Amino acid sequence: MATISREVHLIEYPEGLPDASQFQIVETTVDDPATGEFLIQNQYMSVDPAMRPRLSNGQQRLHQAMGAGTIGVVTASRHSAFAEGDVVQHGLGFREHVLSDGRGVNHLDAAGLSPTLYMHVLGPTGFTAWGGMLITGELKDGENVFVSAAAGAVGSVAAQIARIKGCYVIGSAGSAEKCEWLENELGLDVAINYKEGVLRKNLKAAATEGLDVYFENVGGEHLDAALPRMNVGGRIPVCGMISAYNNFGARSTGVTTLSNMVYQRITMRGFVVTDFEEQRENFLDDMRGWVAEGQMKYRETVFEGIELAAHALIGLFTGENIGKALVKLN
């Protein structure tokens, strides 16, 4: 008997900040598994800033289900490697059910931990922060570090890695609540509310001994403020430029302090999580240990129901989430 499901489609390419009217929930019918197939009921979907560029550059086609990292459970199977009840992880999110032949689907053994941890601190966002900070950023114990968007899924992990390594850590966030979380729960030395005062002045006051590493998530004004504070030989691992994601095709805020890269001999390098694949086991060893010891803290902002999937994605750019944003399917 076929399964009734719902999925989220993009129906109009956004210019600027996406709007809920540009997405549509569509009811579909998913066939029963044929030989070599199995049916997944999705439970949690990830929403990430990196999804935004795909909405405007043609990677996400109109009137087709969107993709996102997802955790689900196998509810019916005619596949030799997947049994009913198996918990799996895959990239076919933004839908309630999906029929699969196994390609791109991995078993998830949460080892007694919440499966959702494998969507953030033990998953892609945690791996991104770990690789960006330790490999691309070449972080050394006791250095001075600034992390932009430090209350986000990647930024909060990156900032804590620096704290664990004995660094002096400054983070930026967009509300008093987020700054309080960064200082009181995550243990950052200074949290700057970038919506209050002048960011460049506030960062100068906090970074009295300069910056050795700036973990870049935002771009624009943040990069402009960080460059003059960089010490000689400083490193800027570039994870993202969220300030520009909604300016697709338009001119973003200019950076006026790039000359500091010359005089301070700064290295600025972009990266993506797949750059570190050979180091995955090292990452998991570190992160599992930090989680078990209570050194790595996290928060989830959970939106209930597929009806809120578009809202959850848009909320990444309006500051609604603290930590990892997830959609829980009913």
pLDDT, tens digit, 9 for 90 and up, residues 48-61: 888 888 888 778 89
> What distances in angstroms separate CA 254 from CA 76, 149, 218, 257, one per listed residue?
53, 19, 13, 9
pLDDT (0 to 100) of residue 120: 94
Same domain, 176 and 40: no
Q: Which domain holds residue 219?
A: 124-276+284-290
d(CA 290, CA 56) in angstroms, rounded, equals 38
What confidence category does residue 245 fall into, taking pLDDT thresholds of 50, 70 and 90? low
Statement: residue 253 has pLDDT above 70: no
User: What average pLDDT does the structure give for the chain?
Assistant: 93
Statement: residue 249 has pLDDT above 60: no
| Exposure class string for 227-254: b at 16+ Cβ within 10 A, else e | bbbbbeebbbbbbbbbbbbbbbeeeeee
pLDDT (0 to 100) of residue 251: 52
Same domain, 153 and 232: yes
Same domain, 199 and 304: no
Statement: residue 242 has pLDDT above 90: no
pLDDT (0 to 100) of residue 244: 64
Q: Report the percentage of the chain scoring pLDDT > 90.
A: 82
pLDDT (0 to 100) of residue 247: 59
107: domain CATH number? Answer: 3.90.180.10
Same domain, 133 and 229: yes
pTM equals 0.89
d(CA 206, CA 229) in angstroms, rounded, equals 10
Same domain, 245 and 136: yes
Same domain, 138 and 38: no
Same domain, 109 and 133: no
Statement: residue 250 has pLDDT above 50: no
**What's the total number of domains in the chain?**
2
pLDDT (0 to 100) of residue 214: 98
Distance of CA 159 to the CA centre of its chain: 14
222: domain CATH number? Answer: 3.40.50.720
> What distances in angstroms separate CA 145 from CA 74, 141, 160, one per listed residue?
43, 11, 11
Q: Which is nearest to 307 in space by CA: 69, 120, 96?
A: 96
Same domain, 156 and 244: yes
Helices (H) and strands (E) in the chain, counts: 9, 15
Q: Judge contact between 31 and 74, C-beta under 8 A.
A: no
Residue 307 DSSP symbol: G
Residue pLDDT, tens place only, 195-230: 999 999 999 999 999 999 999 999 999 999 999 999
Same domain, 222 and 303: no
Same domain, 184 and 246: yes
Same domain, 305 and 241: no
Q: What does the pLDDT average to over 73-83?
A: 97
pLDDT (0 to 100) of residue 158: 98
Return the SS3 of 306: helix
Residue pLDDT, tens place only, 255-307: 889 999 999 999 999 999 999 999 999 999 999 999 999 999 999 999 999 99
Statement: residue 85 has pLDDT above 50: yes
Return the SS3 of 220: coil
Statement: residue 44 has pLDDT above 80: yes
Same domain, 187 and 59: no
User: 224 exposed, middle or buried (CB, 10 Å; 0-12, 13-18, 19+)?
Assistant: middle
Residue pLDDT, tens place only, 104-156: 999 998 778 889 999 999 999 999 999 999 999 999 999 999 999 999 999 99
d(CA 128, CA 47) in angstroms, rounded, equals 15
pLDDT (0 to 100) of residue 93: 83
pLDDT (0 to 100) of residue 176: 96
